[in-house]
Amino acid sequence: MSSITQRIKFVWEYFVLRLHRSTKPPKLDIHSSSLVDRYVRTPNGTWWADMILPSLGYSVRLIAPGSEPDAERLKSFDKVAQRVPALIKQSQLEPPPADDGWGNKPPKFAIDLARISSIWIRADGSFFLTFEVDTNDIYMLAPCFEVSPSMELISAEWCV
């Protein structure tokens, strides 16, 4: 096969057939727990689970360091969720940007009515909360709160 034919074959397979991309989704490392039912271990030393928090009444993605959920972490998740109304009042979050950077306009939004999408507990005990903005997943920005281990608001801003 000539070098020109090899190049054409490579370009065809790479750009047209996309053979360089995996067609299989990554396999999740799913486990069972009496605390959260099902959770996923990640390769970077964290776990995540979708769980209904008692203080919220709806499902939230919980993410924490470690290999599996424990009761202490779950109490911390619920404790920070209980503080959300006070954190929202402290936040003085600006209105959503008029453009998310991809040309999408924001939907009508009120932070005090927003649902929490995910709560991360970091290794140092601080929290990172993201909120849902657009149920159609078109607007790419969302409010993100950083909260100290003592449950005080550190920052509130719009992030990807």
Give the CA dihedral 73, 77, 79, 84, nearest 10 degrees: 160
Give pLDDT tens digits for 33-44: 999 989 999 988
pLDDT-based confidence at residue 105 (cuts at 50, 70, 90):
confident
With 90 as the cut, is the pLDDT of residue 99 above it?
Answer: no
With 90 as the cut, is the pLDDT of residue 112 above it?
Answer: no
Residues whose CB falls within 8 Å of the CB of residue 45, separated by 6 or more in sequence, listed in order: 65, 66, 67
Task: Supply the mean pLDDT for the chain.
Answer: 87
What was the pLDDT predicted at 16?
A: 66
| Assessment of whether the complete model's pTM goes beyond 0.85 | no
Average pLDDT score over residue span 25-35: 84
Domain ranges in the chain? Answer: 25-159
What was the pLDDT predicted at 68?
A: 94
Contacts by residues 81-85 (CB-CB < 8 Å, ≥ 24 positions apart): 81/53, 81/55, 81/56, 81/116, 81/119, 82/55, 83/147, 83/151, 84/116, 84/129, 85/112
What was the pLDDT predicted at 160?
A: 83
Average pLDDT score over residue span 58-83: 94
Give pLDDT tens digits for 114-127: 999 999 999 999 99
